[in-house]
Structures are given as structure tokens and as C-alpha cells.
Amino acid sequence: MSDRLLDAERLVEQFSTEELGSFAIWFADFQDQLWERQIERDSVSGRLDRLIEQANRDFEKGLAREA
């Protein structure tokens, strides 16, 4: 494990309950943003095309429905 990660763990361990709650909310949002960026990159690159085509075929066959 890197020194930076160990330092971060030590810091988080010192958080109060309120700080830990705020950090957890921030970190979840941060992960969501990373995920959204990855999906956008995959979409632009065409990596999702096969999945989209399969979902459309499933929908046309009645195997899926609109959310």
C-alpha cells in the first residue's frame, strides 16, 4: 500500500462521526462522477454499442420494457 493511501487512512480514522458522514457523502458523489465520466468515454468510443443493440432487440421482442 502506498504511503499516500496510508496517510489518507490515518486521517480518515481521526474523523469525528459528523466528519465521517460528510466524507462518506462526498466520496459517494466523487465515485458517481468518475462512473459518469467512464460511461461517457465508453459511449463516445462505441464500447456500449453492442449492449445498446442487444437491449433494443430485447425490447422489440417484448423481453424488456421502458423504465
Q: Tell me if 16 is assigned to some domain.
A: no
- pTM (two decimals): 0.69
How many independent structural domains does the chain possess?
A: 1
Q: Tell me if 46 is assigned to some domain.
A: yes
Cell of 11: 486521517
5-36, pLDDT tens digit by residue?
999 999 999 999 999 999 999 999 999 999 99
Q: Tell me if 13 is assigned to some domain.
A: no
Q: Tell me if 1 is assigned to some domain.
A: no
Q: Tell me if 2 is assigned to some domain.
A: no
Q: Tell me if 32 is assigned to some domain.
A: yes
Q: How far apart are CA 67 and CA 54, in angstroms?
A: 16
Range of the domain at 42: 21-67
What's the pLDDT at 29? 98
What's the pLDDT at 22? 98
Q: Tell me if 6 is assigned to some domain.
A: no
3-state DSSP assignment of residue 67: coil
Q: Tell me if 35 is assigned to some domain.
A: yes
